[in-house]
């Protein structure tokens, strides 16, 4: 049995050097769970992947409509279990029943984007916008990656680098979601890894794997779980059409 050591509250996982709030949990899933997820993701029928120039992606249960509405449906069980219950099991603070999605419109994630990056691929600096409740829970599979974060306010000449190990969970919310941009460099080797440049260095599960200062990327898959604010059940959509 592979043991998981989850933090007893999210405060233990707070990345304190970042604008509020980012949380990092190494080894959020086991190697066996990682393998099972990768197998599922890689055996979905080919058309499910949307190919972009610098990555490919799947949207579950489906992509958002042009008005940012989700056709509400359950996430596939292989994607939601055990990840979502585990995520919701971590209290925000001591002696609280609240978790990171307690105040979101649906009380839990209803959407998951799966991004795949080959070494040398990335995603330009962007914000995730207001289609979603401002919490993103990202699980990394297959390889580490560095997420670059900077304030939207260009006058602020600062930035942070978050190292995401395989099997880790990163939660971005608060100011980090609303006032910052995030992106992933299109490079094959991450360099300058260490306590100086990596903002979550003290929270890593295996600092030793990165202490040489540089690591070659392999194929990395991210699962980004979010709560889409506008979600409509199919019955309601048809009902509305019928009334026209």
Ligand X SMILES: O=C(O)CCC(=O)C(=O)O
Binding site residues, ligand X, CB under 6 A: 113, 115, 123, 128, 138, 147, 182, 222, 224
Q: CA dihedral in degrees (41, 46, 52, 56; nearest 10)?
A: 10
Residues in contact with 13: Cβ distance below 8 Å, sequence separation at least 6, in sequence order: 7, 23, 24, 25, 90, 171, 203
Q: Spell out the residues 6+ positions from residue 12 whose beta carbon is closer than 8 angstroms to its own.
A: none
Q: Which is nearer to Fe ion, 128 or 218 (CB)?
A: 128
Q: Backbone phi, then psi, for 202, in 5-degree steps?
A: -70, -20
Two tokens, residue 74: 């359950």
Produce one character per residue of 68-86: b if its CB has 16 or more CB atoms within 10 Å, e if not.
eebbbeebeeebbeebbeb
Q: Are 10 and 22 in contact (CB under 8 A)?
A: no
Residues 103-142 binding Fe ion (CB under 5 A) are: 128
By CB under 5 A, name the binding residues for Fe ion: 128
């Amino acid at each position: 049995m592979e043991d998981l050591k989850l933090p007893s509250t999210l405060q233990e996982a707070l990345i304190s050097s970042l604008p509020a709030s980012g949380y990092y949990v190494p080894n959020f899933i086991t190697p066996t769970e990682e393998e099972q997820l990768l197998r599922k993701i890689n055996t979905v029928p080919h058309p499910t992947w949307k190919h972009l120039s610098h990555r490919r992606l799947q949207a579950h249960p489906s992509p958002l409509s042009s008005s940012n509405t989700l056709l509400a449906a359950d996430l596939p069980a292989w994607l939601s279990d055990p990840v979502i219950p585990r995520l919701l099991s971590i209290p925000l603070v001591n002696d609280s029943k609240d978790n990171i999605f307690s105040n979101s419109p649906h009380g839990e994630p209803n959407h998951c984007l799966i991004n795949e990056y080959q070494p040398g691929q990335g995603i330009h600096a962007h914000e995730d916008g207001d289609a979603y409740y401002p919490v993103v829970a990202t699980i990394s599979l297959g390889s580490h990656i560095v997420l670059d974060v900077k304030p939207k306010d260009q006058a602020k000449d600062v930035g942070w680098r978050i190292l995401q190990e395989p099997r880790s969970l990163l939660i971005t919310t608060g100011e980090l979601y609303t006032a910052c941009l995030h992106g992933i460099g299109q490079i094959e080797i991450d360099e300058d890894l260490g306590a100086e440049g990596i903002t979550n260095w003290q929270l890593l599960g295996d600092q030793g794997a990165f202490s040489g200062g540089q690591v070659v990327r392999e194929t990395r898959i991210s699962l980004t779980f979010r709560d889409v604010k506008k979600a409509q059940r199919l019955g309601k959509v048809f009902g509305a059409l019928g009334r026209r």
